[in-house]
Chain A
Amino acid sequence: MSERLTLGDMAREERKPLIHLENADLMPLPPPLDDPAKDHNWAPLSAQVTEKYECFLDDTCAVNVPQPKTTEEERALVGQFLSGLDKLFTWENNWAFLEPLVLTMEHCARCQTCSPACHVYEASGKNELYRPTYRSEIMRRLYFKFAKHGGLLSAWQHGDIRLNWPLVARLIELCYRCNLCRRCAQTCPIGADNGLVVHELRKVFSMEMGIAPRELHDRGSMLQLEVGSSTGMNSLVVKDNIEFIDEDITERTGIKVETPWDVEGADVLLIHNAGEILAWPENPGAFAIILTAAGIRWTLSSELAGYDSINYGLWYDDAQFVRVAIKHAEAARKLKVKKIVLGECGHAHKALSVVADRVLGGDLNIPRESAMTLLRDIVVSGRLRLDPSRNDFPVTLHDPCNLVRLMGVVEPQREILRRICPRFREMEPHGVDNYCCGGGSGFAIMSGNNFPDWRFHVSGRKKLQQILTVFADCLEPETPKYVCAPCSNCKGQIRDLLAYYGLWERHRILYGGLAELIVNAMLDAKPGFIEWEWR
């Protein structure tokens, strides 16, 4: 579309997408993916979906909000939205984020300094819809008009906005086109935070209107609180799976491993993202090998949610967030462990260590630590006999936003890689300036309709560019290459990206965790822990 999108377009009545992206519109990629004509075509949304759901923002649909059947229904939904918007600015409903939100609402200068920092905006070919301030400015105008009950003078000062159901429906979708990586906030000279605006809007939709992507709510936090894990594994199943992993890892490494369960008074309660247990069993296996070999007194917990560190509420719902955080702390309290160590999962790190910190009071305030730190100390201490030559292949590190920019755990994982991977190389930019993998804030597990097409073409594009650039000198298939992603969600997104673009098949770019590289270098383990097979 040639006409520039305006803020008012969000309220357009016709059920037609506001934008359409072609491959040629997108940010160019380096070789071998530099020809947009050879890129995949996007699967169009089916007629069934567009007739049933509110899918008229762009080329995809993440939330599947059913279309209201009558004007009255539409009005009622708008009313619910306004009611939620009001609550967002009250102490009793939103004390947890009130100050940062009001600061952002009232001080953004709309200077657009944040725009170039956003990987989604850049990758989309700078499409206005994905500009970080686009949705924030709509929210800001709604705030002044409805939450602050601004009149004509306010509209003159802050800008006006027309509110109707199409705007609300589009806003719901637009909130799921941001990874919440907060790279934009990092560049704001005033300290306004567009990521926070998205977070808060998602809360209105979930906590007031009951609207959230199925993968995050029904199959995510609800399932976790019901059975213990969003994977659907209850404590019996997870124990069974870990037993199988122990056997497999013992056979592969020649080191006898038996994962301890529910050990009272253990020094460390390790909580993995349970997705690892099903998708990448070698990761919990590698942890078991390392902690056992290092002589750590550790345990897993079979309590509800105690064996799955995920906390999807972090992305969309404060009530679900705090419930899961409390379950994690309760599991640790029951076992009287000295500390909780979070496995390779970025959002779990931030959820339990940072955001939940102030709600975990009294005997629930059990110290939390990153696995990066623990692993670094083990590697540096010399407790493991390590041979870096076993990792003599190009390795790069993906920085999970939640771990790095949002928690400040930057160096430990690098200290490990510098010691055990002689051909370690950094992506640019990296550390706290990193780019999101494109799977952040739940996208990595959201696969409804053609959403993966958007996730690979747009939100994951910057990371793809970084990976191709960092390995540009060794793209030939004879050289195996490893993207170390110490986070389950990032790993899932990178797996899907590499598969989508055939980068494992054609260029032997593999992905995996950090613990696997450590075990791969362990002299006491049989060589070849990393099997160079696609998973």
Chain B
Amino acid sequence: MTVLMYGVLLVCVALFVVVVVLRAIRFARMPIHLRWELYPIPHEEPHRVKHGGSYFEEADWWTKPRRRNLLGELRAMAPEILFMRGLWEFNRALWVRSYSFHFGLYLLIGTVTLVLLTAILDILHPGLLAGSLGRGLHWLYTVTGLSGLLLAVIGAGALLIRRLTAEDLKGYTTPGDIFNLCAFIVALGCLLAGYLLRGPESVTAVGFARGVLTFDTSVRLPGLLAVGVILSALLVAYIPCTHMAHFIGKYFTYHSVRWNDQPNTPGGRLERKIAEYLTYRPTWAAPHVGADGAKTWGEVAATIPKRKSK
């Protein structure tokens, strides 16, 4: 049973990593698109960020050095990532539910990281965690883990209720959406209940992590907790296969589209790539486009279309 659990856990984590990487590569390798930015852009000069201005506000902007305001970008990203500022600003009612859910997940990610690091420390320096350091870490990951589970389950429940009851969401909710939220409630709920109901002799979180890292098959988890671990692992593998992978997509929607104001400079990389795309052969069928599958985009662009004779 333990072997099976370890196997599921490791395969699911590996699947998560592979799918996330593949998804990211897929977007990173997409062709450079035409500019489609949206202001304000936070990496603009600080005096322009305030009002959402761009370098186009400056006369002869192409002769001036461009300074990327990384601090400005961080100032916009940090509250968005940590506190979901966009949702707070534009959809407060949803923020309460969504932030509870997401913050719960953040705490869980932190907990897993902390537990794994503690286990590694325990493997490398046996006995080091016997004292106050071990007790402190135990206290810390217990608090973050339990509150993370609680917040995530409550948040997912609140989101589910809203999806099922709010008039503006019901018509857009698919069975998949309901399943996704239920999956969180069930998997994390089992984990929470399993942890709270475990016996005093049950292995600790660090003990379990050490077991996974060393593939120690003598470790035993209570039934409900084991079910929680397996369901959570399956959930981890499932997430990147759905639109819940927006933590990957969001990087690209912001950095590659919304904030991408990079101008085309003579002889630059953009110019070379676009020159390549202009050799593609479109097949759009409307007569005015004149794309017969043989003409390139460059040739189509250089053609003046003829009107259909009546």
Contact = CB atoms under 8 A, between A and B. Distances in A.
B86 A370 contact: no
B52 interface: yes
B86 A319 contact: no
Interface in B143-158: none
Interface in A310-347: 317, 319-320, 322-323, 326, 339
A113 B270 CA distance: 34
Contact of A411 (B27, B51, B300): B51
Nearest to A361: B271
Given A98-B31, A354-B37, A365-B266, A207 B289 contact: yes
Contacts of B303: 323
A294 interface: no
A257 B298 CA distance: 41
Interface string B8-44: 0000000000000000000100111111111111001
B286 A207 contact: yes
A97 B252 CA distance: 13
Given A367-B62, A405-B38, A358 B270 contact: yes
Interface string A180-213: 0010011111111100100000000011111000
B215 interface: no
Contacts of B173: 110
Interface in A410-460: 410-412, 431-432
A354 to B, nearest CB: 5
A99 B264 contact: no
A151 interface: no
Contacts of A411: 48, 51, 53, 57
Contact of B52 (A97, A320, A322, A410): A410
Contact of A404 (B39, B55, B172, B257): B39
B284 A319 contact: yes
B39 A190 contact: no
Contacts of B53: 408-411
A96 B34 CA distance: 5
Interface in B136-186: 167-169, 171-177, 179
A472 interface: no
Which among A111, A113, A193, A210 has the greatest number of chain B C-beta atoms within 10 A? Answer: A111
Contact of B33 (A100, A107, A186): A100
B264 A358 contact: yes
A231 interface: no
A407 to B, nearest CB: 6
Q: Which range contains the number of B residues in contact with the other chain?
A: 35 or more
B295 to A, nearest CB: 11
Interface in B270-300: 270-271, 274-275, 277-278, 280-291, 297, 300
Interface in A84-140: 84, 87, 91-93, 95-100, 102-104, 106-113, 115-117, 128, 131, 133, 137
Please report whether the interface of chain A is mostly helix, strand, loop or mixed according to DSSP.
helix
Interface of A: 4, 6-7, 80, 83-84, 87, 91-93, 95-100, 102-104, 106-113, 115-117, 128, 131, 133, 137, 156-159, 182, 185-193, 196, 206-210, 217-218, 222, 225-226, 317, 319-320, 322-323, 326, 339, 353-362, 365, 367, 369-370, 372-374, 377, 404-412, 431-432
20 contacts: A80-B285, A83-B285, A87-B284, A99-B27, A102-B30, A107-B245, A111-B91, A112-B168, A133-B172, A158-B176, A187-B91, A188-B86, A189-B86, A191-B257, A222-B288, A356-B34, A373-B56, A373-B59, A406-B37, A410-B57
Q: Which 5 A-B pairs have the closest CB atoms?
A: A408-B54, A191-B253, A157-B176, A432-B52, A107-B249
Interface of B: 27, 30-41, 44, 48, 51-62, 80, 84, 86-87, 89-91, 94, 98, 167-169, 171-177, 179, 242-243, 245-246, 249-250, 252-254, 256-258, 261, 263-264, 266, 270-271, 274-275, 277-278, 280-291, 297, 300-305, 307
